[in-house]
Chains A and B, each alone.
Chain A
Amino acid sequence: MTDTAFQTTAAPSSLKVSDEVAIEIVNMNKWYGNFHVLRDINLTVNRGERIVIAGPSGSGKSTMIRCINRLEEHQSGKIIVDGTELTSDLKNIDKIRSEVGMCFQHFNLFPHLTILENCTLAPIWVRKVPRKEAIDTAMHFLEKVKIPDQANKYPGQLSGGQQQRVAIARSLCMKPRIMLFDEPTSALDPEMIKEVLDTMIQLAEEGMTMLCVTHEMGFARQVANRVIFMDQGQIVEQNEPEEFFNNPRSERTKLFLSQILGH
């Protein structure tokens, strides 16, 4: 993708990052069978940070953020989310999952439920919020992603961009403290990418802790306070976005950037 995909200007430096640690990953390793997908990952994310994770496909970036809410299991090392360590204890896992929102490349909305039901389901069943209140919250967030008028439609009747915004609203309805984005715009038509990115920028400006796997380098430049570059299952380079793009240090990063920005 080009970095002109989007042009709104916001000053990332104006966004505050607190000293409080939101996610801590220590010496984390993961294997698929004999294949070592994640190698000795160390990462500390403070509350309010907006981190973009870039890298070639197969570099383990999706796997890494999926470990944070245990959609993938790590085999060694530690992941601590909001002070709770991820172990095989189901209670901890469900607790962390309800605090950590996630948006997927293919949205993963529930096609048999309306948009509104998609958004109220988890608050009602997991948070035990009264139905009325859950609907109010859902409408609030649907308005925020600018599709309150679609509330009674089914996901199949919406465009890709609208579905992804619903997916974001659905996560927000759980009032998460951290949001994970796994290539949220990769399955979208170019015209729809902007509407999703706008929603994500808005979220960032409100101080949400975000980890985004994305190829939208314009987004990274504008919103991220840190860019992480991964290759072959390890973190190769991390830096502030300006430095990262203008002055990459490792050869692999230089190659990657020349590939995706040079066309």
Chain B
Amino acid sequence: MSDTHAETVLFVRETMLPQQEPPSSSTGAIGWARQNLFSGWLNSVITVVAGLFIIGLVLHIVPWFVSPTWMATSLNECRDMVTAAGHTDGACWGVIRERWQQLLFGFYPPELYWRPVVALLMLFVAIAPVLFSDFVSRKLLVVTAAFPFVMPWLLWGGTVWTPVMAALGFVIGYLVFRGFSGRVAGGLALFIAAIVAVLWWVLLSGLVAGAFASVLPLALTEVQSRAFGGFMLSITIGVAAIGCSLPIGILLALGRQSDLPLVKYMCVGFIEFIRGVPLITLLFVASTLLNIFLPPGTNFDIIVRVIIMDTLFASAYMAEVVRGGLAALPKGQYEGADSLGLNYWQAQRLIIMPQALKISIPGIVSTFIGVFKDTTLVSIISMFDPIGLSNAIRANQAWNGVYWELFIFIGAIFFVFCFSMSRYSMYLEKKLQTGHR
């Protein structure tokens, strides 16, 4: 055997030791509980006290939750039902039964509820190939591309030619870019394409859409923006702001690192200005001041204005989050990309951004969650997001004084969305884990 002998210094191992199982007391449920809950007398006492506290809390809250007030039509009726059931206190769930549709859709015409529902389902189909590229066919990206045009049409209605012409603007821009890209510098070609597309949208698309509509009048009933409300409004603003803020944020972060002073200081100025101003201020600007600066008679939709402000706000934060990811990348990655002859945009797209964004995932998703929850701030400018609606519901005599039940319902739905985002970010981090850096 290969034991050391005290009398000699020479030691040669002849047999290598095989791996052995860990001792059973450190594994399994009992091992876990012993290590984590009862590892000493103090920890045991804390465990017991905490357990009792949790039980007590549940025993107090559950009876309040299970109160037989689902069918009530007013707060007074709730109270009568609670007393009749022999309780002193209980939730008044009647308000949810009566008003849940309003909390979801605001004042959207009930016979058209299918439209936001279809838009939501389409949203899920549209983001699936982006979020779960491993499981979902890339062909569904067609839906993703169509979604930004179909969603507004479904929600606001009007002629089908408007979204078609809007999409056509991108096609025209792309064709112009292709036409010029061989002949002039890439940046210039992009600029010309953008100008042509904007001219198309501003000057021509309306006329062409009108002409098509008069020939082939395919249209949905129009719904005004002031009818929008509830979670439909929150999700519309949130999805648009989230979807636009990431690419804009990335460009701002890159711009901030640019060698060109003009680009750099414009980006820095934008980011610092937006981050230095409260979101509510921006929303007030959107709702009131903007009208003063616009030419009289222009009808610039309030929801679009809010989406723009939310997007700008989120982009500034996003830019800083992405900048953090960029700063965390070793300089060698840039040099590796440079030494292979990749140009700036190729290096950014193929090497730098995939890694920087991966590092920034927690921050990016936090910003997304923040943006989504901040949509409730539009209640300040008298739009009926869920919080605004809860005030409107309380303005009704029958439900004056109902707070908890509404907020619990609203909170629960927000939680489902935000928690999903948070879990998704953890899934994504795990998926993109490729060993040590």
Residues of A within 8 A of B (CB): 69-71, 90, 94-95, 97-102, 104, 106-112, 121-122, 125-126, 154-157, 170-171, 174
Contact = CB atoms under 8 A, between A and B. Distances in A.
Contacts of B437: 111, 156
Contact of A156 (B335, B340, B350, B435): B435
Interface in B318-339: 330, 332-333, 335-339
B341 A121 contact: no
Chain B interface category by residue count = 20 to 34
Contact of A106 (B332, B338, B351, B435): B332
Interface string B412-437: 00000000000000000000101111
B332 A104 contact: yes
Nearest to A157: B435
Interface of B: 330, 332-333, 335-343, 346, 350-351, 354-355, 358, 432, 434-437
A121 B434 contact: no
Contacts of B330: 106, 108
Contact of A104 (B335, B351, B358, B434): B335
A48 B178 CA distance: 42
Given A154-B434, A156-B437, A98 B340 contact: yes
Given A71-B335, A108-B332, A112-B355, A121 B436 contact: no
Contact of A126 (B335, B340, B355): B340
A121 B346 CA distance: 10
Contacts of A71: 335, 338-339
A110 B336 contact: yes
A174 B342 CA distance: 11
B242 to A, nearest CB: 24
Contacts of A70: 338
Contacts of B432: 112
A234 B357 CA distance: 42
A156 B355 CA distance: 14
A155 B435 contact: yes
A125 B355 contact: no
Chain A to chain B: the 7 pairs with minimum beta-carbon distance, closest first? A156-B435, A98-B341, A108-B336, A122-B340, A108-B332, A156-B436, A97-B341
Contacts of A108: 330, 332-333, 335-336, 339
B338 A109 contact: no
B435 A110 contact: no
A56 to B, nearest CB: 23
Contacts, number: 76
Nearest to A167: B336
A121 B332 contact: no
A142 to B, nearest CB: 16
Contacts of A69: 338-339
22 contacts: A69-B338, A90-B343, A94-B341, A95-B341, A97-B338, A97-B341, A98-B340, A98-B341, A101-B339, A102-B339, A104-B336, A104-B339, A108-B333, A108-B335, A110-B333, A110-B337, A111-B435, A121-B340, A126-B340, A154-B435, A171-B339, A174-B341
Contacts of A122: 340-342
Contact of B434 (A97, A98, A111, A170): A111
B213 to A, nearest CB: 44
A124 to B, nearest CB: 10
Contacts of A156: 434-437
Given A109-B336, A170-B340, A125 B435 contact: no
Nearest to A126: B341
A174 B350 CA distance: 17
A18 B330 CA distance: 39
Contacts of A171: 339-340
Given A97-B341, A104-B335, A125-B342, 12 more contacts: A71-B338, A100-B339, A104-B336, A107-B332, A108-B339, A110-B336, A110-B337, A111-B436, A112-B434, A122-B340, A126-B340, A154-B435
Contacts of B336: 104, 108-110
Contacts of A110: 333, 336-337, 351, 355
A200 B403 CA distance: 75
A112 B437 CA distance: 8
A95 B342 CA distance: 10
B434 A125 contact: no
Contact of A112 (B340, B342, B343, B354): B354
Nearest to A90: B343
A174 B340 contact: yes
Contacts of B358: 112
A99 B435 CA distance: 31
Contacts of A121: 340, 342, 350
A126 B333 contact: no
A157 B337 CA distance: 21
B335 A125 contact: no
B435 A97 contact: no
A242 to B, nearest CB: 32
Contacts of A106: 330, 332
B259 to A, nearest CB: 11
Nearest to A96: B341
Given A104-B335, A154-B434, A155-B435, A111 B342 contact: no
A107 B346 CA distance: 20
A69 B333 CA distance: 16
A94 B343 contact: yes
Nearest to A102: B339
Contact of B355 (A90, A102, A111): A111
A126 B340 CA distance: 8
Please indicate which of the listed interface residues A70, A94, A154 has the most CB atoms of chain B within 10 Å of its own CB: A94
A106 B351 CA distance: 16
Contacts of B339: 69, 71, 97, 100-102, 104, 108, 171
A152 to B, nearest CB: 12
Contacts of A99: 341
Contact of B346 (A100, A109, A126, A155): A126
Contacts of A126: 340-342, 346
A130 to B, nearest CB: 17
A202 B92 CA distance: 82
